[in-house]
Amino acid sequence: MANPQYVPGTLVPERLLPLIGLLVVRFGSLDAELNRLIWHVAGLDELAGRAFTASVTNYRPRANLLGWLSRRIESEADRKKVAKLADQFMEIADFRHRVIHDEVGWYSPNTGTVGVWRAEVPLEKRKPTEISEDWLSYYSRLAWEVEARMQQYRIKNSRWDEDTHFPWHETPPSKPNRS
């Protein structure tokens, strides 16, 4: 990984930009599906649902809302799966939030990893989030899988009941190692 081209004024290699863009686009689609699933579980039509979720603009309260609403689901298996989707959404959202909003602290050319951290956290307490091709690909793929599962529950698609690797449809990739 010699002499990577950087985004001007940063330590972010340009080769990460397509993967960052993919994560952002997939998250936007996942976020919209989260809203539709909230409407469905709450028993709201589209107009009432849009009015309801539009008033909760931050992703964390909406994911929590889905988790709370999942308690209304009669089937225990479905209730647990929807609650897991809310948790998985939060994991993806938190990573995407770190990628978009955190300060870039370092880049390791040996591992191809960028470290970001929250600027408001004191330096001695900072815990970096690692961003690499592997991490961006992992969370983009997870976003795609979680969105598909949300749709499958909402429309009662037959694949919803495939539990072997839930929320994955096939054997999930391992999370990348931290450097």
pLDDT at position 166, please? 78
- Predicted structure pTM score: 0.89
Is 60 exceeded by the pLDDT of residue 2?
A: no
Dist. CA 168–CA 163, nearest whole Å: 9
Is 50 exceeded by the pLDDT of residue 40?
A: yes
- Biggest alpha carbon distance in the chain? 57
Nearest-10 Cα torsion for 98, 100, 101, 107: 70
pLDDT tens readout for residues 88-109: 999 999 999 999 999 998 999 9
Q: Which DSSP state fits 131?
A: E
Mean pLDDT of the chain: 90
What is the average pLDDT across 31-52? 95
What DSSP string runs through 73-113? -S-HHHHHHHHHHHHHHHHHHHHHHHHHHSEEEEEETTTTE
pLDDT tens readout for residues 133-155: 999 999 999 999 999 999 999 98
Two tokens, residue 150: 């949300």
Q: What ranges do the domains of the chain cover? A: 25-161
pLDDT at position 169, please? 76
Dist. CA 148–CA 142, nearest whole Å: 10
What is the average pLDDT across 162-168? 76
List, in sequence order, the alpha helices (H) in the chain. Answer: 17-42, 46-54, 59-69, 76-101, 133-155
pLDDT confidence tier of residue 3, bands split at 50, 70 and 90? low
